[in-house]
């Protein structure tokens, strides 16, 4: 059974790493997420992720927290899709970009699609 946890070491917290991610990273959109990712070859394979729900779209903190929790849970349960990326240091930001509060299934499908896209893109990048 795979490890389905999301420890603090897998969260993107470094200000320098976040700045590098948004300056040099590639981006894409899968409804309802805009995602930004940055991959570089490294001997140690690490994946760090950042979750964001902007205050611009959801003024109430309880809605932002609900959406952030749903996103974290769907990532946590599906992160094994990134297991085959080889020796790549991957930083990922998932930004919820719609005003609607969507159900968990919709969020989970979008996160799954994003993770599959990243797995393919990093595989191409290594080849």
Task: For 104-117, write each residue's pLDDT tens digit.
Answer: 999 999 999 999 99
CB 92 within 8 A of CB 49: yes
| Phi and psi at residue 54, to the nearest 5° | -65, 145
CB 57 within 8 A of CB 96: yes
Q: Which CATH number does the domain 8-126 belong to among 3.90.260.10, 2.40.50.100, 3.30.230.10, 3.30.70.580?
A: 3.30.230.10
Domain ranges of the chain: 8-126
State mean pLDDT over 40-58.
89
Task: For 8-29, write each residue's pLDDT tens digit.
Answer: 989 999 999 999 999 999 999 9
């Amino acid at each position: 059974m795979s490890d389905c946890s999301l420890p603090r070491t897998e969260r993107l917290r470094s200000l320098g790493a976040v700045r590098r991610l948004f300056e040099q990273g590639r981006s894409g959109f899968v409804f309802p997420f805009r995602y930004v990712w940055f991959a570089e070859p490294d001997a140690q394979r690490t994946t760090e992720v950042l979750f964001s729900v902007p205050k611009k779209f959801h003024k109430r903190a309880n809605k932002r927290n609900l959406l952030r929790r749903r996103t974290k849970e769907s990532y946590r349960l599906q992160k094994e899709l990134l297991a085959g990326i080889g020796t790549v240091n991957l930083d990922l930001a998932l930004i919820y970009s719609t005003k609607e509060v969507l159900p968990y299934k919709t969020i989970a499908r979008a996160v799954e699609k994003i993770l599959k896209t990243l797995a393919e893109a990093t595989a191409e990048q290594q080849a």
